[in-house]
């Protein structure tokens, strides 16, 4: 599973990093970025999906 952030949509709310810090972090400007090229670690799939569905700007996409 892999996570992608559309940086053109992100407004820097940080809800993704709060929901799934193993996959998402905030960059130096406060916008979402993925860790480890967006690879979702085993056992973190549900948290990654929660982060994506909770993004107020719909800036996150998860692919299986």
Domains of the chain from N-terminus onward: 2-63 (3.30.70.20)
Under DSSP, the state recorded for 19 is H
Quote the pLDDT of residue 19: 98
Q: Which of 27, 26, 24 is nearest to 35 (CA)?
A: 24
Q: How far apart are CA 29 and CA 54, in angstroms?
A: 21
* pLDDT value of position 55: 99
Looking at residue 5, what is its pLDDT? 99
Kindly report, residue by residue over 5-59, the tens digit of the pLDDT: 999 999 999 999 999 999 999 999 999 999 999 999 999 999 999 999 999 999 9
> Would you state the pLDDT for residue 4?
99
Residue 16 sits at the vertex; the CA angle it makes with 33 and 1, to the nearest 5 degrees, is 75
């Amino acid at each position: 599973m892999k996570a992608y952030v559309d940086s053109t949509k992100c407004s820097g709310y940080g809800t993704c990093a709060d929901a799934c810090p193993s996959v998402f972090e905030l960059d130096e400007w406060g916008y979402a970025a993925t860790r480890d090229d967006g690879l979702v670690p085993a056992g973190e799939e549900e948290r990654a999906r929660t982060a994506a569905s909770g993004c107020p700007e719909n800036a996150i996409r998860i692919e299986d």
